[in-house]
Amino acid sequence: IPRCVNRIKHSTGIEFDIDNIPIDDELTYKILSEGNTVGVFQMHGRLRSFMHQLDTRLFTDLIALYALNRRNRRGSLDKIKSLVRRKYGREEISYLLPEMEQCLKETYGLTIYPEQIIELSKQIADFSTEQSVGLYKALRHEDAAELDLLKVQFIEGGQAKGHDKETLTTIWNEWVADWPNYMSKCHATCYTWLLYQTAYLKAHYPTEY
């Protein structure tokens, strides 16, 4: 990236800050959706095909797609297909509890990131920061004993807020079962930004890139 920026300055006299390019650049999204991505950071194989299907102009969609693709598991692939269908209204977007919409709206009702679990545990069951971070660590380390303890706290906390036990149990079981498919949003965002920067350079300065 810095070598390309230097070439652009040398050949055109244009100087710009690659870290402050527009996040909604139409030409960049155009080459991504068209699959014209040879040489773009980590845009190859299956991800290129999924990007074409998603045909998005939202950076948040790119992050979600990148995160799911990197997990490379059956559950993640199913979520990618669901993400595309939900974006274009071919699958219903639903929430087990109304409180979940604010946190999951960006990902069309799908839980994709551990950060969403941390936030939802606070909203649904009044988990403290310590409890929610403890949940993340227990999931990460597959600590069955700690997860059993936190499940009791989650259901009790959710019931205290008026939620029924069956729905709370369903939410919890989905989180635990789906854990291998999650990639942190902060991690995915950093890599997606590199992908976007290289796509921007290829779209606007193909010769130098």
pLDDT per position as a tens digit, 44-91: 778 888 898 999 999 999 999 999 988 766 678 889 999 999 999 999
CB contact at 8 A, 19 and 200: no
Residue 105 contacts by C-beta under 8 Å, 6 or more apart in sequence?
none
Residue scoring higher pLDDT (45 or 198): 198
Q: How many CA atoms lie within 13 A of 139 on its CB side?
A: 26
What length does the chain have?
209
Taking the C-alpha atoms of residue 96 and residue 45, their distance in angstroms, rounded to an integer, is 34
CB contact at 8 A, 68 and 82: no
What pTM did the predictor assign? 0.92
Taking the C-alpha atoms of residue 177 and residue 127, their distance in angstroms, rounded to an integer, is 20
